[in-house]
Structure 1
């Protein structure tokens, strides 16, 4: 193995170790109210033995094979809510990385490039103290909100690329990258089907980021090959396999949304079409959210300016690379489809084989200049279409698009950076020169040296981004000083409090330290009125009140005391901090 292979493997292990430090050492410290609900529902899933617990109201997505489902199984073994989610997130981290490697191996067999690509993906999410942002919680940290979606994308795209580019000629495979693909295993396709069904049941998100791009690419390929009269049985097999994935994804969603109908509350608009007059407004908002997830907003970050300016500059470089990769790929695709026979892998192989038999040096040089559609091009197009799909939905539909919905940006970043390493090699892959001249050999050596420098620059750049983004969070996770919320939780447990009522954004952050012994019930806008979604139910009766406490914020104190007085209920202060005061009561105040 090359020395660089060991170094890059070490970097990946270090990155993974940082994820583990944050997840296992800082879990309670970083957990917020959104995360807590995913932890709590995993307990309900296990206790009810149902992926749709009857005493829970979901919001924008259900959980079928997401992190809470994995955590539920582990909870049944460990009895610890927090440890279960920590392990579930770690398991999904490993699954995501394995699926990403599986997908990238359909692009290149160069081990060094694969490792660099993994580094790029692990460091693609940037932002100072990233664990405290929703972007940082999508894949590898805390509750891994979108882990199941991105895992499914990588698995399905890996399968799709193998179907498209399987069984090329040996001569074509003997390129510098050494890429030779076989058809995916039956197990891989079955797993792709299972996770496509599961993520389809969870929400329409998978349809937008994966099914629509797949349908677009395969649809264009289908019609092009039909009209060029080059459609084969192999092409038909690919089309129906991908169509099957699309159909079962949509059926799975309809089965849940129309037939099962679990209790849920839509938070971010609907699927209705906007009026044409508001399309411009929708486009601007979508573009703003896309810009936000690229990390470019770090350039004008008010806090930690030095770190943010570095991250902002790295984001600018990455954006330029993505634009280059996408534009270059689109140009290659259009060039590919110009000729009558181009676009068909089998015909391309035959053409190349014929040319290889020709000893004419001029012909060989012409072949060297030719470019063909490769797996990396298809992958870039798929990720790019996944972003366009979300942007189109935000522009044309009533859905309120958030920046994290553009999470396909991160794999596009990793793939675009990978393109820098294998993009030039793609040309050489399709050029076969039997008797290379000394000049050609020197050019290849110079190209190899240039690729090494590009490879090193990418690793250094992404490592810097990772250190700035995750370093402070990892150090904070290792801090053993007890937080105020931890001290409060300790006090409540010592006083046998099992229920904590208060503002939805506050009480879960205290209860999480109890690892399930204290259950938080939160209100949002109206004091003592628990919200009816993403919030525990069945904990607001008189019996619960005997073991309950009320957390009142300073801005709520006057109204909270008045309501209690009007109801003839007495609040007794038992604990106070500058941020909140905690009371017990002689009567149930929570409306239910």
Structure 2
């Protein structure tokens, strides 16, 4: 027994050290403010934070929101820090670091009543290792970026779910007490806030919570031969109503908003239903696929991880019914996270919503919980599990840290292209740059130039020149008609070699004269225009 306790303590130290190392990596990446880590989405979340602070409102009058508003999301917290320090990039970095810590703390709180420290930490760190393996730490939304780095888009949704689920599990287990009331109030308030933001939390948390409670009522009503309603039923109802109330509240708030990924209208044909079903199955299958590898390899890696989830799910459900439904906490959490994925799948198949693999983000904590359950299920292999996970996570943290150190050094080099362009513009009196909307791994924009300039240059983003409505100013995640507000004499257009023919065609069409002002490296140019070309391209229907 003493030997067992000693080994557990040793693994506790190792797992804690790995967690701190991960947090160190996140803080380092965020606070570096490396110009090369920013894309259009991240830049615009920062821009929103600045506009929100200036307007002293989370709904700036002229801001055009995309799929979601911001109420309890990272940009709102960033707005507060922007008001204090006056630097949008640093403000967002600090906000993302805080959200990272909150994710770790709320996940630990949620699972504390179900697993030992080592069990829950091993599961969580295994997930971290997988996400680090899967994608770049800062330039891909398919890895830790969506939750921990840069703008941590989905952090608030995880935090909200972890708090609510933690309260629900304690209610189900009969372990809820007065000391948990504060957390339940926070969970309910966050449910209202995330409801105001979008339907996302309704799909991944509120509806699954109600569905899980109905399932539990049915199971225990059959087992006990009486209607098994409990305090968890009331809590589920309050959370659901709070979330829906947030959705309704937004109907009475006047904002500018433009949906990017479809509507909530139901599909109208069998063909569309089958097509959407196929694509959503693909999204789920490749959820854990490594970004940089070919499809077959991605499929193999993803299949292994999905198999781990399946094994954990089957073991949990089997044990639950085998033990006459006594241990309901772990079963409830596994069902909640599973139903969160099922709900997103249903929305993607039955409605016009255009799903993405990232929308299935509840599958990530599901993996962590299933790993923890497998460790519990096979106590004789605990040391092996802990050792393998520790080595894997340590390797991934080291790998990503080494990469980040080199990238940050290069990105902040004054001789980098971004710094050269920024310095050229500032030295020659230019304060605005027009460029395509940057998307990490897909399309380079000019966001890095803004960061390199110390936020002294303004950015106007437009759509790709090889798509319909080429160079039309972006109509979401920006200030309304922002492209009209800047002095054309102090504005330049960042163009790439392959874009020039189409841009020249557009300029000739609208009678605008192009003049090359500078060239950087191979195929990167700065052009001035005799008139604001985006004024004309915005007229495209």
TM-score normalised by the shorter chain: which range applies?
A: 0.7 to 0.9
Provide, for residues 310-339 of structure 1, a one-character-per-residue CA deviation record: whole Å limited to 9, x for no partner: x87665443222110111222234445xxx
Aligned residue runs from structure 1 range 390-469, under 5 A: 390-424=344-378, 447=379, 449-468=380-399
Q: What is the distance in 2 between the residues matched to 1:26 and 1:247?
A: 40
Q: What is the distance in 2 between the residues matched to 1:403 and 1:542?
A: 37
Aligned residue runs from structure 1 range 44-63, under 5 A: 44-63=51-70
Provide, for residues 321-363 of structure 1, a one-character-per-residue CA deviation record: whole Å limited to 9, x for no partner: 2110111222234445xxxxx44xxxxxxxxxxxxxxxxxxxx
Q: What is the distance in 1 between the residues matched to 2:92 and 2:330?
A: 34
Q: Which has the larger radius of gyration?
A: 1
Superposed displacement of residue 520, structure 1: 0.8
Q: What is aligned with 1:485?
A: 418
Q: Is the 8 A contact 2:514 2:530 kept in 1?
A: yes
Q: What is aligned with 1:348?
A: none
Aligned residue among 385, 397, 400 for 2:339: 385
Is 1:116 the equivalent of 2:55? no
Provide, for residues 250-275 of structure 1, a one-character-per-residue CA deviation record: whole Å limited to 9, x for no partner: 1211221x222421111211112212
Q: What is aligned with 1:353?
A: none
> TM-score, normalised to structure 2's length?
0.87
TM-align CA RMSD? 2.6
Q: Gaps spanning 5+ residues in structure 1: where? A: 168-180, 303-308, 337-341, 344-371, 425-446
Aligned residue among 62, 68, 91 for 2:75: 68
Q: What is aligned with 1:21?
A: 28
Q: Is the 8 A contact 2:25 2:397 kept in 1?
A: no
SS in 1 for 2:191: helix
Counterparts in 2 of 1:293 and 1:466: CA distance versus 1, 3 Å: farther
Q: What is the distance in 1 between the residues matched to 2:373 and 2:509?
A: 68
Provide, for residues 280-333 of structure 1, a one-character-per-residue CA deviation record: whole Å limited to 9, x for no partner: 22211011111221226766369xxxxxx6x87665443222110111222234
Counterparts in 2 of 1:217 and 1:128: CA distance versus 1, 3 Å: closer
Aligned residue runs from structure 1 range 130-529, under 5 A: 130-136=137-143, 137-167=145-175, 182=177, 185-226=180-221, 228-231=224-227, 235-256=229-250, 258-274=251-267, 275-295=269-289, 300=294, 315-335=302-322, 342-343=324-325, 372-424=326-378, 447=379, 449-468=380-399, 471-479=402-410, 480-481=412-413, 482-505=415-438, 506-524=445-463, 525=465, 526=469, 529=472
SS in 1 for 2:534: coil
Provide, for residues 123-143 of structure 1, a one-character-per-residue CA deviation record: whole Å limited to 9, x for no partner: 342325343221122111111
Provide, for residues 433-476 of structure 1, a one-character-per-residue CA deviation record: whole Å limited to 9, x for no partner: xxxxxxxxxxxxxx4x5322222223333444555566534542
Q: What is aligned with 1:576?
A: 519
> TM-score, normalised to structure 1's length?
0.80
Q: What is the distance in 1 between the residues matched to 2:307 and 2:509?
A: 62
SS in 2 for 1:133: coil
Q: Gaps spanning 5+ residues in structure 2: where? A: 1-5, 439-444
Counterparts in 2 of 1:478 and 1:537: CA distance versus 1, 3 Å: same
Q: What is the distance in 1 between the residues matched to 2:307 and 2:408?
A: 34
Counterparts in 2 of 1:209 and 1:492: CA distance versus 1, 3 Å: same
Q: What is aligned with 1:87?
A: 94
Superposed displacement of residue 202, structure 1: 0.8
Which has the larger displacement, 484-493 or 579-588?
Answer: 579-588
Paired residues in the alignment total 512
Superposed displacement of residue 528, structure 1: 5.3
Counterparts in 2 of 1:107 and 1:561: CA distance versus 1, 3 Å: same
Q: What is aligned with 1:359?
A: none
SS in 1 for 2:518: strand
Q: What is the distance in 2 between the residues matched to 1:127 and 1:151?
A: 22
Q: Is the 8 A contact 2:338 2:366 kept in 1?
A: yes
